Amino acid sequence: MKILIAEDTLSDRMLLRFHLAKLGHQVSEVQNGEELVNTLKDSYYDWDLLIVDLNMPIKSGEEAAREIRALQTDSPEDWIPIIFLSGSGTDEDIQRCIEAGADDYLIKPIQHKVLAAKLLAMARIANMRNRLVSMNKRLEALSTTDYLTELPNRRAFEISLTDEMAKAARYEQALSVAVLDIDHFKRINDEYGHDVGDEVLRQVSARLKSSLRKGDVIGRIGGEEFGLCLSHTSAEDAVNACERYRKAISGAPIICGEHKLNLTVSLGVTAYCDNLGQLELIKLADKALYEAKAKGRNRTIYRECE
């Protein structure tokens, strides 16, 4: 583990460093609580464990621990275990340290075997935390990813769009939104079956991803509908970008087993206006899409804000 020691007594620091190095850990040190807090502000995620003396000048270990815990969020990823050091083993001191945010307590003089056992316990807790963080990330990915296409789902797309709209408003940046729909998709399902329809969705998604411009976000927002968030993109550039996406789909047949399908897509696009909310912006792009369908499909139609 990477361990940071906060201890004002040189002899105690040297002894602790010796014990920890013997156990195979990487060790750095500071001399008081203020240095500890300042170090963590610059390198919070660099440390696996803090070993903190209770009584130090300038800022005590108790005060430092309270500030460190205040830096954390509710995410288990932010948790850094803290072991307090003290020459006192009174119930009151142990209670104070635990209430300040300590996870364990060591009484001086430090016994090597006791220290090793405490570190083993901390490693077990850290392992459980890492598993929890990994599981949380997996669940988050599942909740925001479309299972079939592995694109962001509607929820994730709308979150990204909301963020980009806030940036566009704050920094007066260009932003455009488009909705893409596979032409005559119902015919594919009716004629070839839903397995082929699913494969078409996967291959269309793959072509969109392979053509993705830097900064663009594409999500599956409906059955055969895809949303496109085009950041830093004016109306004219958005139409050109949508045309490139359209041609990426229609430029070559899609092969599904023995079936060779010549697909086209239609797109509706609009530019961000600060008088419209997220859903209104998507609806406006949808109206442009319906117009593209009405005019014969396989085209991009732009619609101004209303």
Residues taking part in catalysis = 224
- The residue assigned the tokens 């001191």 is 93
Residue by residue, DSSP assigns 35-76 as: HHHHHHHHHGGG-SEEEEESS-SSS-HHHHHHHHHHH--S-G
**SS3 of 254, please?**
strand
∠ Cα 138 140 144 (to 5°): 120
H or E stretch at 168: helix 154-171
Rounded Cα distance, 155 and 282, in Å: 13
- In this structure, the chain runs to a length of 306
Rounded Cα distance, 97 and 85, in Å: 10
- Nearest to 13, CA basis, from 42, 62, 56: 56
- The residue assigned the tokens 């602790």 is 16
Structure tokens at 75: 């995410």
Is there a contact between 193 and 253 (Cβ–Cβ < 8 Å)? Answer: no
Strand segments (E) across the chain: 2-6, 26-30, 49-53, 82-86, 104-107, 175-182, 217-220, 225-231, 254-256, 259-261, 265-271, 300-302
CB atoms within 10 A of CB 51: 27
- Nearest to 211, CA basis, from 179, 246, 237: 246
Rounded Cα distance, 107 and 272, in Å: 62
